[in-house]
Each structure stands twice: as structure tokens, then as C-alpha cells.
Amino acid sequence: GAGVSQSPSNKVTEKGKDVELRCDPISGHTALYWYRQRLGQGLEFLIYFQGNSAPDKSGLPSDRFSAERTGESVSTLTIQRTQQEDSAVYLCASSLQGAGNTIYFGEGSWLTVV
Amino acid sequence: KNEVEQSPQNLTAQEGEFITINCSYSVGISALHWLQQHPGGGIVSLFMLSSGKKKHGRLIATINIQEKHSSLHITASHPRDSAVYICAVRRGGSQGNLIFGKGTKLSVKP
């Protein structure tokens, strides 16, 4: 597609439920990133994919969080047993391989845990 | 101390004013990004710098690698420039993790 696409755009879930957030990166972008932004806070890095592997997952806050990527394309971020502190906007971004490339962000998935 | 510091945190300007937002960082970097986040949350990448200066329309970004400092300038500011501007750096040798500043909230009054 023309840009990074994320779904759902909004999700309200009950505490304890699992959620899956999807990211479709720009075609041909081998690098894919997940970030989180809680209300009133700055952006936090979660995980980085190069192709289908994740050489840097240091930002995942707990073992309830996991992510995968398939076909060097779509990525899914899964949050198990959601907690209220998981409420945030989850942003996906993609770029061509290499540190010197522009990063393109999706519109984000707004997650509210009630 | 945060590895990426931005100043000011908040900035109010009158339409037409020249605006400068500063970013200082304490780590070795391979690239620095300036991002714009609108109230709806969408993020747009404005610039990616590894040296020197870039210009796009009314926006100018500069970086001084030796001083570990970057500035974002907006000339002839307009209310539609109102947004949060975020500085982010990529550590030298790193492909992944971006380190973000806390952002500068800019409000341009007509």
C-alpha cells in the first residue's frame, strides 16, 4: 500500500483479555518497528524486525507482550492478559534497511483496557 | 538524565514568527530524526539527518555532530504548524532502537 496501515484503529477490551494489533508496512520495507505511547508520555520503543526476525526486542515491557512478522510483511503485536497500564496508542513504523533511511509511521492502534 | 533532551517543552508563537526547537543528545548516533505528531496522534517524519543541514519548504533542520546538538527551525510560522515536534536518535551501530525526546508542543496563534 501507499503507507503503513494499522488495525484496528481503536480497540476497547476488558482487563485480562488478549488483544492482537496488526501492522502492514510499506511494500519492500524490510525494517519494521513497534512503539508505544501512553497518554501524556513520550514514545517508547518495543521491538524491531529485520525481515522476519527480531534482533532487538529489548523494549517489550513483559512476557505478556509478543510480536511476530511473516513474509517480511505483516506484523502482529499480541498482548496477553491485558492490564489497564497497557492502555496506549501502539504505533508501527517501517523503513528500508539501513540506519540512514526515513521511517514511516502508521496512524496507530488506540488500545483502551477497562 | 535522558539521553535525548528537547527544549523548550512548550512553545507558543504568533503567526509569522521564526521558531527554533532544540535537541541535545548524549550518545553516539548514526542518524537523527525530526518527527511531527498532530493532535490526532499521527506521526510524520520531517527530516533524517546524519550531518549538516536540510531544508524542506519552511522547515530547516541542522545538526552539529561534534556538539551533539540539532535544531529544527520553522520560518513564517502558521497555525497549521501547531503540533508536537519530536527529536529521535538512532544509536551508532544500531539498526533498530530509536531513542525519543519527550517532544516540544508548539502552538501557533493567528
Mean of per-residue pLDDT scores for chain A: 92
Measured CA to CA, the distance from residue B98 to residue A47 in angstroms comes to: 10
User: What 3-state DSSP class applies to A86?
Assistant: helix
Average pLDDT over residues A51-69: 93
Name the closest residue on chain A to residue B5, using Cα atoms: A42
What confidence score (pLDDT) does residue B96 get? 66
Sign of the torsion formed by the C-alpha atoms of A57, A59, A64 and A66: negative
- Joined grid coordinates for residue B10: 512548550
Q: Which residue has the cell 508542543?
A: B105
Contact A103 B103 (CB under 8 A): no
DSSP state of B96: S
Interface residue A57 vs chain B (CB under 8 A): no
A67, A53 in Cβ contact below 8 A? Answer: no
B51, B66 in Cβ contact below 8 A? Answer: no
Say whether the peptide bond before residue B79 is cis (omega within 30 degrees of 0). no
Average pLDDT over residues B25-39: 91
Closest CA to B36 of B15, B57, B65: B57
Average pLDDT over residues A38-54: 90
What confidence score (pLDDT) does residue B87 get? 96
Measured CA to CA, the distance from residue A88 to residue A68 in angstroms comes to: 20
pLDDT of A1 above 60: no
What confidence score (pLDDT) does residue B92 get? 76
Interface residue A78 vs chain B (CB under 8 A): no
Is pLDDT larger for residue A55 or for residue B72? B72
What confidence score (pLDDT) does residue B91 get? 80
Name the closest residue on chain A to residue B103, using Cα atoms: A42
Looking at mean pLDDT, say which of A42-56, A99-113, B25-39, B49-63 comes out highest.
Answer: B49-63
Residues in chain B with CB shorter than 8 Å from the CB of A48 are 95-97
pLDDT digits (tens, 9 = 90+) for B10-29: 999 999 999 999 999 998 89
Alpha helices in chain A (DSSP H): none
Contact B97 A45 (CB under 8 A): yes
Contact A50 B42 (CB under 8 A): no
Contact A108 B41 (CB under 8 A): yes
The 3-class secondary structure across A85-106, one letter per residue, is HHCEEEEEEEECCCCCCCCEEC
pLDDT digits (tens, 9 = 90+) for B84-103: 999 999 887 766 678 899 99
